[in-house]
Amino acid sequence: MRVEQALSIADLQQAARRRLPPGIYGYVHGGSEDQSSLRANREAYDRWRFVPRPLVDVSSRALSVTLLGRHYAAPLGISPMGVAGLCGFDGDVAMAAAAREAGVPFVLSAASTTPLERVVQAYPDLWYQGYLPARGDIVEPLLQRVWAAGVRVLVVTVDVPIASVRENELRNGFSIPLRLGPRLVWGGLCRPTWMVSTFARTLLRHGMPHFENFTATRGGPIISAAKGDHRAGRAAMTWREIAWIREKWQGRLLVKGILHAADAGKARAIGLDGIFVSNHGGRQLDGALASLDALPAIAEAASGMTVLLDGGARRGTDVLKAMALGAHAVFVGRPAMYGLAAGGRRGVLHALRLLSREIDVDLALLGCPDVAQLGPHHLCRADTPAVGAQPAARLHGDTHDLLSERLIEESK
């Protein structure tokens, strides 16, 4: 099947499952422990329903947004996803090039296997995401390298003080760094197309991939332990270090992995430019609050900052719900990786175009001609009676709004 024949992100997911070795697909698709946070991210969208308004002129629709001073074609972005080169040849460059063509932001993961300087050539305005330790002697040279490469937006992921336990990956023999055990090797042999077009091609063109962007210097190969330990020092990271980075970094600065309104208040006090509301796609603390459930309280506490949502979006309707609840844009990780596995750069671009097309159609059906006009009045809770449904803005008595009000109060 040509990748452009996929009608939805779910179609791309199935194409990726058929193409990737089970261990690598499990890494992309799965979460931590019992994967309850992973499920919660999807279930959160189902708790909201639209309140459409007909007889509105929607003959033209506006999808564009301005984020951090830059204009983008749609309220979408690609979240950082590590070792994308395992899903498709030159995966980091492919995703960057697709995002640039689609006119949306792309965040390069620190766990990428292509030197950021080469990825910047494919998309000069990409954002860089760092897993940073509480060590200025390591962070400052990295900041200098990232700035010298032309990157002006830095995203610091703060919800990975230590690695989570991902049992589905362990059962499939997958780990990072990769260990070439029987399960992983057999899984590769069962996917000969992937073996030739991705794995063998990578070895022939670039040699064994390395962790290229954790620090200012090149890391170790992905099949052995990194030089030192790229996770060392993260457990000591506090808001004090974020404030220090704010002083050192001249560009835009965001933190990723915020679920509490009080933390949004701290980010604003430090002078950060934005927040990613995220539970790491259900890949870190299992049982954590769904990103969408955390969004309304954080959006209110982060007034004046750019608020981005990451977690669980698979449809244009998901994007509209998140924006109605306070997000300025929605970033996707797995949908981009599914597209990469299914069809390289073309697959990633198709994933973005599918979501953009759905946003456009859904805006018209909702009776809202511009994403900038989305608000809580376009939603009601799923358990609200259909007759005389109250918009989300008026539903202050349910559990969700009580939680939101408490979190906002604590942030003051």
Give binding residues for glyoxylate as ranges: 27, 131, 166, 280, 283
- Residue 294: closest CA among 315, 314, 304, 280: 280
| Of 210, 280, 350, 400, catalytic | 280
Look up tokens 């990232």; give the residue: 146
> Which residues, at least 6 apart from 411, have a Cβ–Cβ distance to it below 8 Å?
260, 261, 262, 263, 264, 265, 297, 301
- For 206-252, the DSSP string reads H-S-B--SSSSS---BTTSPPSS-TTTTGGG--HHHHHHHHHH--SE
Backbone angles phi, psi at 411, to 5 degrees: -80, -15
Q: Is 280 a catalytic residue?
A: yes
**Could you tell me which residues are annotated as the binding site?**
27, 80-82, 109, 129, 131, 157, 166, 256, 278, 280, 283, 310-314, 333-334
- Cβ–Cβ < 8 Å for 266, 286: no
Using CB atoms within 10 Å of the CB of residue 314, give its burial: 0 to 12 exposed, 13 to 18 middle, 19+ buried: buried
Q: Which residue reads 């698709």 in tokens?
A: 29
Reply yes or no: is the peptide bond before residue 54 cis, omega within 30 of 0. Answer: no
CA 275 – CA 272 distance, rounded (Å): 8
As a residue count, the chain comes to 412
- Detail the residues annotated as belonging to a binding site for FMN: 80-82, 109, 129, 157, 256, 278, 310-314, 333-334
Listed as own residue / partner, the contacts of 23-27 with beta carbons closer than 8 Å and 24 or more positions apart are: 23/169, 23/172, 23/173, 23/174, 23/183, 23/184, 23/187, 24/86, 24/87, 24/174, 24/187, 25/341, 26/168, 26/169, 26/171, 26/172, 26/174, 27/83, 27/86, 27/166, 27/169, 27/172, 27/174, 27/176
> Coil, strand or helix: which one is 314?
coil
- Give catalytic residues, as residue numbers: 280
